[in-house]
Amino acid sequence: MNTIQLLMKASQVIDELARIGQSTPAELAKVVSEPRPTVYRIVAALEQEKLVRSGGDGKLELGTGILKLGDAAADALVDRSELRSQLRWVRGQLGMSAFFCVLREYGAVCLDQIQGADVDLLGLAPGRTLPLHAGAAPQALLAFGSPEFRESVLASGPYPSIASQTPLSGEQLRERVDRTARRGWSVEDSEVIEGVASIAVPVFRRDGTLLGAMSVAGLRANVQGQEERAHRILNAAAKTIAASMAQEDPNDTRDASRLDPPEGSERDSPRAPAVIAKASALMNALAEERIATSTRLTELLEEPPSSVYRMLATLAEAGWVEQIGHRGAYRIGSKLLSLSSELTQRLDIRRAAAPVLREIHAKTGETTFLCIRSATRAVCIERIDGIRVNSRVLKLGESLPLHVGAAPRALLAFEDRSSWDEYAAIVANSGEPWRDVRTRSEFYSGLEQIRGQGFVISDNNVTPGIAAIGAPVFDHRGGVAASLSVSGLREGMLSQPVGAEPIVDLVLAGARALSEYLGAPAVAKADADVSHVIA
């Protein structure tokens, strides 16, 4: 099997895992029409690069390396830090879900999103795709994008019905796109989700070409009457994002070079697993560079130009890389956004935590918890009751304020300082008691101490006579995804029998295992200070 065939088969394996979920190598061999030994070799190479991993019971699933590449695909298009900052600002101003989309042939791809206060819009998660014929963001993209592409979309009707107000014909869509072009922004109601309205404005690069669309969406009652205000706020955010782009636009490829196709037989190319490792190295180099020419990649990889060219051509055909312009540089393909989204939706931290909680419970006999943040509270989503003492606090589905106890404070302490400020302001206005602290500065000092040691000890903070130890669980970006904790009588929690494994070590090891499941940066086992994994 030559290089092109091998990389294409590896891409097919990943595509199938994204499409059908966990699968055995035998099932994948059947789908990609290759002998089992060949698929085993491909899978072994993909596992080594963390693009595939074991899902248990002899099955395979997408690996967390996909998440890094998905982020790189977004980074190649926009300053994601500034984008996220602006999305948070828009959400704070309007209370609606805020998101940013880019135009692709197959739809409007969401690069990032901040959920609103009224409802979670799951269809707008990063990597998800909106159809081009429905919604405010697609209409803004069509109105200000390529005229040729716009006409091809308008000529492709009739379109499928999604909600009661979805435009079904090219004429209906043209009317809405033309209206958007005239006034400079778009608004829709019940085109994508019944009862949900959205507003969008275009975002332009410095050279005037379309970059994407900034949009908000929410329940109809919360959007109606705010259209003009939302338009002004979105416009301000769009201008800030445009200004954050580099003065020399990374998409400007006037000086970029492209190698001519090499001569010679593909049969002389590297074979698996080496070629998959080399392709993975190319993808990682491109992720670090954001945008790079083939010449630059050849220098970074120290590979023959012909090999780099073949890999780029094959990866581009598979959708893993995109070339900017006819003879331009390369970036990670937006297909990785979709693959990353598929993996993110399938990550089930509650399922992954079950054996971890059971192991800690078996060694300690104490109550074990898994919590996630919901607004200003920590919600228990998994729990195993203690053998000797069973706390009545934080039962399955119940919650505590983020400044109380071990698991809640583990969620808050490892957020950034702005999140602390936001939470403290909310608590101050709500009348919620601060418990063991008298001032905001004292509260912040406690959070800093927690960050420094990497875990939380709660002693008599919630229930008299009960102590708890908690640690954060991080996602692939270094953000706090959940917290793991153990609670019991303070005498047993804070003083261990001789020879027994310290509970804090068990909690930290469990949190590390769950962080690894989510693709978090690795942390040395002996290092209790995990604060440096924060992005």
- List, for residues 211-221, the tens digit of each pLDDT value: 999 999 999 99
Question: Does residue 535 have a pLDDT over 70?
Answer: no
**What number is the average pLDDT over the span 233-249?**
82
**From CA 124, how far away is CA 101, in angstroms rounded?**
9
**From CA 374, how far away is CA 344, in angstroms rounded?**
18
In a 3-state reduction of DSSP, which class is residue 472?
A: strand
- The DSSP result for 307-350, as a single string, is HHHHHHHHHHHHTSEEESSTT--EEE-THHHHHHHHHHHH--HH
Report the percentage of the chain scoring pLDDT > 90. 73
Taking CA 217 as the corner, what is the angle to CA 140 and CA 168, rounded to the nearest 5 degrees? 55
Out of 262-271, 299-308, 382-391, 519-528, which region has the weakest mean confidence (pLDDT)?
262-271
In a 3-state reduction of DSSP, which class is residue 199?
A: strand
Angle of helix 147-154 versus helix 136-144 axis, rounded to 10 = 130
Q: Which of 518, 472, 449, 469 is nearest to 371 (CA)?
A: 472
Question: Does residue 255 have a pLDDT over 80?
Answer: no
Taking CA 99 as the corner, what is the angle to CA 98 and CA 103, rounded to the nearest 5 degrees? 155
Question: Does residue 118 have a pLDDT over 90?
Answer: no
pLDDT category at 263 given cuts 50, 70, 90 is very low
pLDDT category at 437 given cuts 50, 70, 90 is low
When the pLDDT of each residue in the chain is averaged and rounded to a whole number, the result is: 88
pLDDT category at 91 given cuts 50, 70, 90 is very high
pTM: 0.83
Question: Does residue 297 have a pLDDT over 80?
Answer: yes
User: What are the helix (H) ranges across 161-249?
Assistant: 170-183, 220-223, 227-244
Question: Does residue 126 have a pLDDT over 90?
Answer: no
Q: In this structure, are residues 137 and 216 in contact, taking their beta carbons and an 8 Å threshold?
A: no
